Structure 1
């Protein structure tokens, strides 16, 4: 049984950017990302499936994804409503580690991703915690179209 939690918070917005010398642990412990997720206003017509996890959703029902300029669940919900298969979406911050080329290191990048799903998401779906190159996820929220 899925538990749907209606939540309303004051919004704190964080934008995607190059993050400098932030390692994986620093991203996971940076309060800007967790506060942005925890304080995000649940979009009208949606309920929270999960809030502020360090994992993104996985499983059946994946439709597509977008890379976003800002962490804005309301704007994302408006765009999701145009997809007739939309049942929920997962928005989160993802750290991409520096790429090295010929001994040169580049700044890490934090991007905001949003995955669209054709089924309702719950906390048990939050399974992807990153990848082998120290890619990590923070501030992951799922919203269910109700």
Structure 2
């Protein structure tokens, strides 16, 4: 009799387990066809993806650069990606912070082809990706809307971008241009004039591009307030390059190099130098231009 009771108890337990399956926690294995037609348009219109993106809190130390786009970034300095089990911006931020070269990241849902790894291989899945970048992620470089592979449409939904506060665009300046381990080595402008306006070395605080923007603006204000006696229009700072310098691999501080004209990556040729037995190198180099007046040279 005891055996029969135990058998009945086990059967009841099994029925209970089958009636109440464990909740699906692995979001990137979730069948997209379980929430509607398994099409790219249905994926893009899924309100759950929009809700996740719109409700995501911005992590401390980062600035939200865009929210809920249908495109991922094609930024500077690709640093790889991880797959998340949930739309967890904080987790992605922690991973970025733990990577010395990561300055920005992008989180999004990607429609992924059916896979034998999914618990149902006949439906596409929603993969949640966390992608790391050394350069800034902005709405302007969020241009990857997906692709078609073997007739299957890969699309993006719920895409959010975040950049570290330390390299985010400062008021009055445009987004950063990532120069990697190179610094600007500017030639003369179109009139043969030198655009270099000096430098500042900051070694009393963590790397922060805003301090260079303040130095650039302050230099302009000073020059305007103290014009030369020759009547020549004062130079104003319209562009700066900030980076870290290293002596034999040891950080020596943050540099802010100021210019009266904007320059592109083509003149970012300064990689450092060797002095005696010491090797000086450059890292985390970013350039910023005045958002309203980049100081473009006009031939006199």
Q: Which residue of 2 aligns with 1:112?
A: 128
**Displacement of 1:74 after TM fit?**
0.8
SS in 2 for 1:134: strand
Specify the SS of the correspondent of 1:40.
Answer: coil
- 1:29-48 alignment to 2 at 5 Å? 29-48=45-64
- Alignment correspondent of 1:15: 27
Q: Which has the higher helix share?
A: 2
Question: Is 1:137 aligned to 2:156, yes or no?
Answer: yes
TM-score, normalization by structure 2: 0.41
The CA distance in 1 between the partners of 2:67 and 2:93, in whole Å, is: 16
Q: CA deviation at 1:86?
A: 1.1
1:1-146 to 2 correspondences below 5 Å: 15-16=27-28, 17-20=30-33, 21-98=37-114, 106-132=122-148, 133-146=152-165
How many residue pairs get matched?
129
Distance in 2 between residues matched to 1:60 and 1:118, nearest whole Å: 6
| Secondary structure of 1:48 counterpart | strand
**Cα deviation 1:75-119 (Å, max 9, x = unaligned):** 1111211111111000000001336xxxxx711111001110001
Question: RCO higher in 1 or 2 (8 Å CA, sep ≥ 6)?
Answer: 1
Larger Rg: 2
Higher strand share: 1
CA contact (8 A) 2:75 2:136 kept: no
Structure 1: runs of 5+ lacking an equivalent = 1-13, 100-104
RMSD over equivalenced CA pairs, Å: 1.8
Paired with 1:145 and 1:118, the residues of 2 have a C-alpha distance of 10
| Post-superposition CA distance 1:19-74 (Å, at most 9, x none) | 22421000101110011101100111100111100000013211111111110101
The TM-score, its normalising length taken from structure 1, stands at: 0.82
